[in-house]
Structure 1
Amino acid sequence: MAKRKQGLGWIEWLRGWMYVIYEMLFQRITASHLHNPLELPPLSDLTCIVTGSTSGIGREIARQLAEAGAHIVMAVRNPKAAHELINQWSASWHGLPLNIEVMQLDLLSLDSVVTFANAWNARLAPLHVLINNAGIFSIGEPQKFSKDGFEEHMQVNHLAPALLSILLLPSLIRGSPSRIINVNSVMHYVGFVDTEDMNAVSGKRKYSSLLGYTSSKLAQVMFSSVLHKRLPVEAGVNVVCVSPGIVHTNVARDLPRIVQAAYHLIPYFIFSAQEGSRSALFSATDPQIPEYCELLKADEWPVCAFISQDCRPTNPSEEAHSVETSFEVWEKTLEMIGLPSDAVERLIEGKEVKCRYGTQND
């Protein structure tokens, strides 16, 4: 039997970092054809859920979609902060009243994810776009676990959005053609997922916040690729991962020294949150995205659509192309988030799916 891969080979690792550094140095040039802010079409017939929309990229995404006329649901941990933002936006906005509501969602609690999804699905309303934007990068911090027992980066950046995406399928199918947009990161190029040690507790690899972050982002791409394949064209739900570029929110203390030096030397190269929001906004609204996703599906391409910070399709990392590991990530993730392995198929058929988390089990 082939020996299990324990990590990225040094050539893969080096290539990954070269890609990250290249992105940092040249993102402003490669994206120079884009307007800032991105010009959006009228979106009054669109309902969008945006997680983590009180700060950074998520705040920009929610505000710009709302100003284009979309019905926005800010899915946030701190509803008070969200309501304050809505008041600010409304006060400075001169168009039609903004159609924004706030719902509580804490990604560090899988019970909270199930409660949120049940509350939304109970409305029997269509959902056109789910933007899984919330994420954490606890730079330089020691390893932490959620109350569900999972490493926090893995839970917030991958497990909770995965659970949310699957549980909201009934509403997304109702709103089809619809989209799941996962705000990913160029940092997944230096990520590696050990499916036997998703919590990074075995000690095989020394834990750092960088390891936690990059592996959670790669796990998200791998899971998204399998979900993309599992959703039949007739369901009308497309899955896209996007890179916002290197944005001013993640200044990184435990990145390699050369990358840190680049951060300090060249703030000019780093995107603002408004610039970083463009790839997600583009993927949520561009009419050609569903066509592109269907093309990849028909072509049996091993990965889902991945849109770069310059709003053009790009290729996820070499590791993301491992169909075998992606399937292992899929199986392991469903097990961790308490869903049966046929959850997607059952939901597509309109059947009920029981999750191990959530209030129905109290």
Structure 2
Amino acid sequence: MRSETVSSRRTKKKKEGLGWLEWFRGWACVFHEFLFQRFMSSHLQNPFPLPPLNHLTCIVTGSTSGIGRETARQLAEAGAHVVMAVRNTKAAHELIQQWQKDWSGKGLPLNIEAMELDLLSLDSVVRFSNVWNARSAPLHVLINNAGIFAMGEEQKFSKDGYEQHMQVNHLAPALLSLLLLPSLNRGSPSRIINVNSVMHYVGFVDPDDMNVVSGRRKYTSLVGYSGSKLAQVMFSNVLFKKLPLDTRISVACLSPGIVLTNVARDLPRSVQVQYALIPYFIFSPQEGCRSSLFSATDAQIPEHCEKLKTGDKPICTFISQDCKQTKPSEEAHNVETANRVWEKTIELIGLPLDALERLIEGEEVQCRYGTYQE
């Protein structure tokens, strides 16, 4: 009895943030990528060369601008059937018309369409999944590209009640990935690709306070963004571990590098000016989409994922901006926290804890948002 009491007193205190050494290493990784990403990626061609992809169906979220726009266009030009999952379908249709016009005479018309998806609404995620799954068509690649970094802004919440970075960058893509598992299973071998960020190296997630409202941590947009990206990596690790090997569904996170995209429109004017003054260090969207295209099409990704899956601590592959396999942050390897992030995420997105297993088996699953049925 006495030993149990002593043991309980020695229980490790709950972690409330990164240690100073982890924090320092994280920022070192961020600055290293900023300063040397162009040098490290000098071996890559631009635009990124792709093989014929006529056999693939790909969904790309947030594909009317930036990295997503370039990703969707290049996949379509390589022959893939591309679904632009976007908030503004009018803008997407205008882009499709322009791309078809530019592509005229170079080959068959591009096989590309637009569907409405608003990641700030989990109801919208469920509706999108319902419409797509109703087709009973295979899905080969899901690219969760859409993201938000509202630098300098006050804390904002979605209509679902979740901090905006956490919802757009993590919760909504997580729900989308799970609800589309039946279609990904039909398209096996298939892939879930999450456009992440090197900023997850300085992120921290408290599964009991994912909205950062408890007061234990002071909220800043940087805290919101980096935490949401770390949560995505942790969730992806557990998702990858839980997916049966015979589904042949690969899961990968990636860093596109430091890219000048429409995310910059949310930055303070002074920061936007600094972005404009350092074009050498900043990737263009065409350069930034290379790791997405690599992750979606490289033939060795499934093999690498299979090797990771049989390791002692299964984690999903992380692709760097120079299209090489690397490791996520030290905190991302925290198995205990990752499992808690998984469970809390499932709760927040309104699914039962056994949703993954049931969806893989083709069973009906009820979601708190919308009315989901496979």
TM class by shorter chain equals over 0.9
Partner residue in 1 for 2:44: 34
After TM superposition, list the pairs within 5 Å mapping 1:315-334 onto structure 2.
315-334=327-346
Residues 174-253 of structure 1 mapped to structure 2, 5 A cutoff? 174-249=186-261, 250-251=263-264
Q: Distance in 1 between matches of 2:281 and 2:107?
A: 33
Separation of aligned partners in 2, 1:261 and 1:190: 24
Paired amino acid for 1:52:
G
* Deviation of the 1:233 alpha carbon: 1.0
Q: Write out per-residue CA displacement over residues 275-312 of structure 1, whole angstroms, 9 at most, x where no aligned residue.
A: 00000100100111111100100123342100000000
2:78 is the counterpart of 1:97: no
Root-mean-square deviation (Å): 1.8
Alpha-carbon distance in structure 2 between the residues aligned to 1:209 and 1:85:
31
Does structure 2 retain, via aligned residues, the 8 Å contact 1:188–1:215? yes
User: In the alignment, which residue of structure 2 is the partner of 1:357?
Assistant: 369
Asked if the contact 1:60/1:277 (under 8 Å) is kept, the reply is yes
The residue correspondences of 1:286-305 to structure 2 (distance < 5 A) are 286-305=298-317
Cα deviation 1:17-41 (Å, max 9, x = unaligned): 1110000111111111110010000
Q: Which runs of 4+ in 1 moved over 4 A?
A: 250-254, 259-265
* Cα distance per residue 1:200-228 (max 9 Å; x no partner): 11111111111110000000000000000
Matches within 5 A, 1:66-81: 66-81=76-91
Q: Does 1:169 align with 2:205?
A: no
Output the CA distance in 2 between the equivalents of 1:287 and 1:302: 20
Q: CA deviation at 1:53?
A: 0.3
Which residue does 1:277 correspond to in 2? 289
Instruction: State whether residues 302 and 323 of structure 1, in contact with CA within 8 Å, keep that contact through their aligned partners in structure 2.
Output: no
Q: Is the 8 A contact 2:126 2:372 kept in 1?
A: no
Matched residue of 1:241: which SS? strand
Return the TM-score normalized by structure 1.
0.96
Percent of matched pairs sharing the same residue = 73
Counterpart residue identity of residue 63, structure 1: R
In our comparison, the structure showing a higher alpha carbon Rg is: 2
Unpaired segments ≥5 residues, structure 1:
none
Q: Is the Cα–Cα contact under 8 Å of residues 27 and 309 in structure 1 kept in the other structure? A: yes
- Which of the numbers 50, 54, 71 marks the counterpart of 2:60? 50
Q: Distance in 2 between matches of 1:230 and 1:353?
A: 17
> Post-superposition shift, 1:360?
6.0
Quote the residue 1:123 is aligned against: 135
Distance in 1 (CA, whole Å) between partners of 2:148 and 2:55 is: 31
Question: d(CA) in 2 for partners of 1:79 and 1:261?
Answer: 30
Shift in CA distance, 260/80, structure 1 to aligned 2, threshold 3 Å:
closer
Q: CA deviation at 1:328?
A: 0.4
Decide whether aligned partners of structure 1 residues 69 and 333 sit closer, same or farther in structure 2, where only a CA change above 3 A counts. same
User: Could you tell me how far 1:12 is from its partner in structure 2?
Assistant: 1.0
8 Å contact from structure 2 (residues 255, 291) kept in 1: yes
Match of 1:5 in 2: 15
Q: Following TM superposition, by how much is the alpha carbon of 1:2 offset from its aligned partner in structure 2, in angstroms?
A: 1.1
Residue type of the partner of 1:161? P
Distance in 2, matches of 1:81 and 1:151, equals 26
Contact 2:309 2:315 in 1 (8 A): no
Which residue in the other structure is 1:133 paired with? 145
Output one character per residue of 1:155-202: Cα deviation in whole Å (capped at 9) or x when no partner. Answer: 000000000000000000000000000000000000000111000111
CA shift, 1:261, in A, is 11
For 1:310 and 1:282, the matched residues in 2 are separated by: 10
